[in-house]
Chain A
Amino acid sequence: MNIVVCIKQVPDTTEIKINPVTGTLIRDGVPSIMNPDDKGGLEMALRLKDKYGANVTVITMGPPQADLILREAFAMGVDRAILLTDRKFAGADTLATSNALAGALRTLEWDLVITGRQAIDGDTAQVGPQIAEHLDVPQVSYVCGLELEKGGKSFRVTKETEDGVQILEARMPCLLTVLASAVKPRYMNVPGIVAAYNKQVEIWGADKIDVDESKLGLKGSPTKVLKAFTKGLKAPGELFEVEPEEAVGIIISRLKEKFII
Chain B
Amino acid sequence: MNFKLTPTQSLFRQMIREFAEKEVKPLAAEIDEQERFPIETVQKMAPLGLFGIPLPVEYGGAGGDNIMYTIAVEELSRVCATTGVVLSAHTSLCLAPIFENGTEEQKKKYLPKLASGEWLGAFGLTEPNAGTDASAQQTTAVLDGDEWVLNGNKIFITNAGHAHVYVIFAMTDKSLKNKGISAFIVEAGTPGFEIGKKELKMGIRGSATAELIFSDCRIPKGNLLGKVGGGFGIAMKTLDGGRIGIASQALGIAQGALDETVKYTMERKQFGKSISQFQNTQFQMADLKTRVEAARLLVRSAAFKKDCKEPYSADAAMAKLFAAETAMEVTTKAVQFHGGYGYTREYPVERMMRDAKITEIYEGTSEVQRMVIAASMFKK
Chain A positions near chain B (C-beta within 8 angstroms): 68, 71-72, 75, 187-194, 196-197
> CA–CA, A221 to B52, complex, Å?
50
* Known pairs A71-B7, A187-B48; A194 contacts B19 (CB<8 A): no
In the complex, the answer to whether B7 meets A187 with C-beta atoms within 8 Å is no
Tell which of A72, A187, A191 touches B57, judged by Cβ atoms closer than 8 Å. A191
Of the stretches B8-16, B149-157, B223-231, B342-350, the one at the interface is B8-16
In the complex, the answer to whether B12 meets A187 with C-beta atoms within 8 Å is no
Say yes or no: is B220 at the interface (Cβ < 8 Å to chain A).
no
Interface residues of B in 35-87 (CB under 8 A from A): 47-50, 52-53, 57, 62-64, 68
What residues of B have a CB within 8 angstroms of the CB of A187 in the complex? 15, 18-19, 48
In the complex, the answer to whether A72 meets B53 with C-beta atoms within 8 Å is no
What residues of A have a CB within 8 angstroms of the CB of B47 in the complex? 189
Distance to closest chain B CB from A135 (angstroms): 32
Tell which of A72, A75, A191, A197 touches B63, judged by Cβ atoms closer than 8 Å. A191
What residues of B have a CB within 8 angstroms of the CB of A75 in the complex? 11, 15
* Known pairs A189-B47, A189-B48; A71 contacts B11 (CB<8 A): yes
Interface size grouping (class) on chain B: 10 to 19
In the complex, the answer to whether A196 meets B48 with C-beta atoms within 8 Å is no
In the complex, the answer to whether B12 meets A193 with C-beta atoms within 8 Å is yes
What residues of B have a CB within 8 angstroms of the CB of A190 in the complex? 12, 15, 48-50, 52-53, 62, 64, 68
In the complex, the answer to whether A189 meets B7 with C-beta atoms within 8 Å is no
Distance to closest chain B CB from A189 (angstroms): 5
> CA–CA, A4 to B164, complex, Å?
42
5 A-B pairs (CB sep. < 8 Å): A75-B11, A189-B62, A190-B49, A191-B57, A193-B15
Known: A189-B62, A190-B68, A193-B8. 4 other contacts (CB 8 A): A187-B18, A188-B11, A191-B62, A196-B11
Q: Nearest CB to that of A33 among chain B residues?
A: B14
> CA–CA, A197 to B12, complex, Å?
12
Interface residues of B in 199-234 (CB under 8 A from A): none
> CA–CA, A72 to B11, complex, Å?
7
> CA–CA, A68 to B15, complex, Å?
12
What residues of B have a CB within 8 angstroms of the CB of A68 in the complex? 11
What residues of A have a CB within 8 angstroms of the CB of B49 in the complex? 189-192
Q: Nearest CB to that of A72 among chain B residues?
A: B11
Q: Nearest CB to that of A75 among chain B residues?
A: B11
Q: Which 3 A-B pairs have the closest CB atoms?
A: A190-B49, A190-B62, A188-B15
In the complex, the answer to whether B18 meets A196 with C-beta atoms within 8 Å is no
Distance to closest chain B CB from A148 (angstroms): 24
> CA–CA, A72 to B15, complex, Å?
9
> CA–CA, A156 to B36, complex, Å?
43
> CA–CA, A197 to B52, complex, Å?
19
Interface residues of B in 1-35 (CB under 8 A from A): 7-8, 11-12, 14-15, 18-19
> CA–CA, A196 to B62, complex, Å?
12
> CA–CA, A68 to B10, complex, Å?
10
What residues of A have a CB within 8 angstroms of the CB of B63 in the complex? 191, 194
